[in-house]
Chains A and B, each alone.
Chain A
Amino acid sequence: MNRGIIISIISFLVYLFYQVLILQNVVLFHTAFCFLYVAYLLSLPVETNSLTLMGIGFVMGFLVDMFYESIGLHAFSCVLIMYVRNYWLASVTPQGGYDSNSNPSLVLGGLQWFLIYATPLVFLHHAFLFYLEAGGFDMFWFTLWKVITSTIFTTVVILIAQFLFPGRRR
């Protein structure tokens, strides 16, 4: 248990610093952003209760915000997807349910299941992020384009990370 928490904290920091120091400078085609740190939130253990989830999401979002100079934006989106996550996990349960103490990941339910699990949450996160940043729906289509390209980019990078480190926290 203790070891799990320490590893979790370390990977929290790794995701955070990878995001703010490296991925902050990566923008594809002027529109596609990569927010890999969402992967950390998505892969927290299945039976974590939503209060803890929202707490972790808030802290993560808030720290990212300090570097992105956008206080509140990431925190808002993170808390939102963390609130939705458990309901979503319950409704996409793979055959045979979840093992106790498992993390939602590629190895747990396969590629198709993981995409169904992760993509809507990433989309939700990005949609709130970009529309809040734009301050409304004035630039609806351009913002939507940003949301879609970023969702694809982030999801692909999350998949690559999952392939590279499959059993990282088991």
Chain B
Amino acid sequence: MERLFLFIYQRRAFFTFLALELFCFWLIVQHNQYQGSKFFNSSNAVVASLNNFSQSVRDYFLLRDVNTSLAEENATLRQQLEYYNQRLQVLDTLSQSDSALVSRFDFVSAKVVNNQVYRFKNFITINKGEDAGIKPGMAVISPLGAVGKVKIVSDHYSVVTSILNIDIMVSASLKRTGHFGTIKWEGNDPGIINLMYIPPHVNPVIGDTVITSGYNAIFPEGIMIGTVSDIQKNPEALFYDLEVKLSQDFGKLWYLTVVKSELKHEQDSLEQIILDKEP
């Protein structure tokens, strides 16, 4: 026994090395889980406020671009408002919608505090958290397209897993034909994402719009993702390999919208009942 202790003591550098590396590896694996570690991330108050400070310095240099993009978004929203106003004139206003359906989604606007684009697993930190009603799993969109889903929240900040993350898959569909597929990022080009599982009888063309489908539990239906930019298919392959050019430039994210889906919980639990009852 004494010899064993002596042996360990003599090799203490090696054993400390081993222990530290195992601990780090455990942290990495833990972090890759959906939920992630609760405290040691950039939604932690100290880290987030430092990031906030560094972002606020950068903001001054970006004001012009931010202004432009906000003005553009304003214009789009006005256009939509006008469109719906026109439709109201025509429609029978007596047919009331289901109030639950009307308030199905609620939106919270948030500012980007920290953004990553060039890594294999990119995350975005935003300046709204639990106090604003944000919970893990909510969808995050930008004026131009889908962005990601909330991973961890603290009181005033949250960390969003960007769709530019090699672990994330989102159900999407081709708007023109209505066929479903899955988008997944390959990890190299932050402007391009891959659309998989489009069957060979579909004829996608370059320029087809790709939107989120209603089948996924994260995003609302019909959020823009991008346009098809390259089509490849091996003769033996069962599915197309489509490259989609993202409509949102992820290097230029400043303001995001968190989507609070009021009915998602209900939909999930309903589907769960059906799944449980199946033999």
One of A62, A80, A139 near B21 (C-beta < 8 A): A80
Using a CB–CB cutoff of 8 Å, the interface residues on chain B facing chain A are: 12-14, 16-17, 20-21, 24-28, 30-32, 37, 40-42, 44, 47, 50-51, 54, 58, 114, 116-121, 123, 125, 159, 166-167, 186-190
Binds B, one of A38-46, A67-75, A116-124: A67-75
Is the Cβ of B37 less than 8 Å from the Cβ of A54?
Answer: no
Give the complex CA separation of A27 and B3 in angstroms: 52
Is the Cβ of B42 less than 8 Å from the Cβ of A67?
Answer: yes
One of B16, B24, B188 near A72 (C-beta < 8 A): B24
Is the Cβ of A83 less than 8 Å from the Cβ of B42?
Answer: no
Give the complex CA separation of A80 and B50 in angstroms: 28
Interface residue A114 (Cβ < 8 Å from any Cβ of B): no
For A22, A61, A133, the residue with the greatest tally of chain B CB atoms inside 10 Å of its CB is A133
Given contacts A66-B41, A83-B17, contact A134 B31 (CB under 8 A): no
Given contacts A79-B20, A133-B120, contact A139 B187 (CB under 8 A): yes
What number of A-B contacts does a CB cutoff of 8 Å give?
99
Interface residue A50 (Cβ < 8 Å from any Cβ of B): yes
A-B contact pairs, 10 of them (CB 8 A): A21-B54, A30-B190, A50-B13, A54-B20, A66-B44, A70-B121, A71-B37, A75-B27, A76-B25, A76-B28
Is the Cβ of A69 less than 8 Å from the Cβ of B50?
Answer: no
Is the Cβ of A66 less than 8 Å from the Cβ of B17?
Answer: no
Which B residues are in CB contact (< 8 Å) with A139?
A: 120, 186-188
Which B residues are in CB contact (< 8 Å) with A51?
A: 12-13, 16
Give the complex CA separation of A51 and B42 in angstroms: 28
One of B42, B118, B186 near A66 (C-beta < 8 A): B42
Interface residue A31 (Cβ < 8 Å from any Cβ of B): yes
One of A21, A30, A76 near B50 (C-beta < 8 A): A21
User: How many chain A residues touch the partner (CB < 8 A)?
Assistant: 37
Interface string of A64-103 (1 = CB under 8 A from B): 0111111111011001100100000000000000000000
Given contacts A66-B40, A66-B41, A66-B42, contact A75 B24 (CB under 8 A): yes
Q: Can you add 7 more A-B contacts, CB < 8 Å, to A66-B41, A72-B27, A83-B17?
A: A50-B13, A51-B13, A66-B40, A71-B30, A71-B31, A72-B25, A135-B166
For A50, A72, A73, the residue with the greatest tally of chain B CB atoms inside 10 Å of its CB is A72
Which B residues are in CB contact (< 8 Å) with A75?
A: 20, 24, 27
In angstroms, how far is the closest chain B Cβ from the Cβ of A29?
Answer: 10
Is the Cβ of B41 less than 8 Å from the Cβ of A71?
Answer: yes
Which B residues are in CB contact (< 8 Å) with A58?
A: 20, 24
Using a CB–CB cutoff of 8 Å, the interface residues on chain A facing chain B are: 17, 20-22, 25, 27, 30-31, 33, 49-51, 54, 58, 61-62, 65-73, 75-76, 79-80, 83, 130, 132-135, 139, 142
- Interface SS of chain A: helix, strand, loop or mixed? helix
Which B residues are in CB contact (< 8 Å) with A25?
A: 58
Given contacts A58-B20, A79-B24, contact A69 B51 (CB under 8 A): no
Q: What residue in chain A is nearest B50 (Cβ atoms)? A: A21
Which A residues are in CB contact (< 8 Å) with B40?
A: 62, 65-66, 71
Is the Cβ of B123 less than 8 Å from the Cβ of A69?
Answer: yes
Is the Cβ of B17 less than 8 Å from the Cβ of A79?
Answer: yes
Is the Cβ of A69 less than 8 Å from the Cβ of B20?
Answer: no
In angstroms, how far is the closest chain A Cβ from the Cβ of B33?
Answer: 11
Give the complex CA separation of A132 and B166 in angstroms: 13
Given contacts A30-B190, A142-B188, contact A70 B31 (CB under 8 A): yes
In angstroms, how far is the closest chain B Cβ from the Cβ of A152?
Answer: 16
Give the complex CA separation of A31 and B119 in angstroms: 9
Q: What residue in chain B is nearest A74 (Cβ atoms)? A: B24
Which A residues are in CB contact (< 8 Å) with B21?
A: 76, 79-80
Is the Cβ of A69 less than 8 Å from the Cβ of B118?
Answer: no
Is the Cβ of A73 less than 8 Å from the Cβ of B47?
Answer: no
In angstroms, how far is the closest chain A Cβ from the Cβ of B253?
Answer: 13
Give the complex CA separation of A69 and B148 in angstroms: 15
Give the complex CA separation of A131 and B148 in angstroms: 24
